[in-house]
Amino acid sequence: MTLKSKRIVVVGGSSGIGFAVAKGALAEGAEVVVGSSRAANVDAAVERLGQGASGHAVNVRDEANVAAFFERIGPFDHLAFTAGDWVGWGVASHLAETDLEAAKDRSAVRYWGAIAAVKHGSKTIAPDGSITLTNGTVAHRPRKGGPLSTAMAGSIEFLVRGLAVDLAPVRVNGVCPAMIRTDVWNSIVQENGEEAFNRMTARQPIPRIGEPAEVAEAYLYLMRGTYTTGQILVVDGGATLV
């Protein structure tokens, strides 16, 4: 299957993995609509992507705003949801010390935002189209002080399975990236840069940080893969093996 002339929506497409997905889809001849929370970032992304790209601001925390976003877009073929709010995700906290109200807020984008996008996007998606969500390898490799992060990431995988049945014949899958060179990770290790990346990935079978374009290939495959649904593609350099 080709993506040529297909209409693809990337929520979270103004930077990082989402931008790489949009760029890769354009290279295959698709039309791309990017959505992100800040209009200025959307405009900048559309300008960088060039011909075939358009975009609109969307606040996935606000269901009415999400509904208006998809009404404005109209019919499309594929949806990739890569939006993420990183506030509080890098801070280890044992459950007994966790602010539960703050923890609930951390799910507003990655989980409930994804659900809102699927709910309203599924109304105008093509019957032979696809939806691809995003989680993370913390779902498979829990860390001390991060049980809620693990639960949140894992919940996306079960959401994918449920939606694949519920929305069929629309295909629903997910991508599970590990450490990828995005602005977020660059800010986390800004003091040590490449040295920190090398140390954190040294034990992996592929001992380096991943690039957004490498992860984007998983999303593009899942758009093309007409016999694949309810699956999670792990793109982690082998990190979950060691």
pLDDT 10s digits, 37-92: 999 999 999 999 999 999 999 999 999 999 999 999 999 999 999 998 765 555 56
* pLDDT tens, position by position, 154-172: 999 999 999 999 999 999 9
Query: What are the residues whose beta carbons fall under 8 Å from the beta carbon of 112, sequence distance 6 or more?
Result: 60, 61
Under 8 Å between Cβ of 63 and 71:
no
Q: Which amino acid makes up residue 42?
A: V
Residue 225 predicted with pLDDT over 80: yes
Length of the chain: 242
pTM: 0.92
Instruction: Report CA 125 to chain centroid distance, whole Å.
Output: 18
If one counts every other C-beta atom within 10 angstroms of the C-beta of residue 88, the result is 15
Distance CA 54, CA 43 (A): 8
pLDDT at 186 over 60: no
Neighbours of 176 (CB within 10 A): 23
Q: Residue 17's CB: how many other CB atoms inside 10 A?
A: 29
Q: What is the dihedral of CA 138, 142, 145, 150, to 10 degrees?
A: 50
Summary mean pLDDT of the chain? 91
137 and 177 in contact (C-beta within 8 Å)? yes
Task: Report CA torsion sign: 139, 218, 111, 44.
Answer: positive
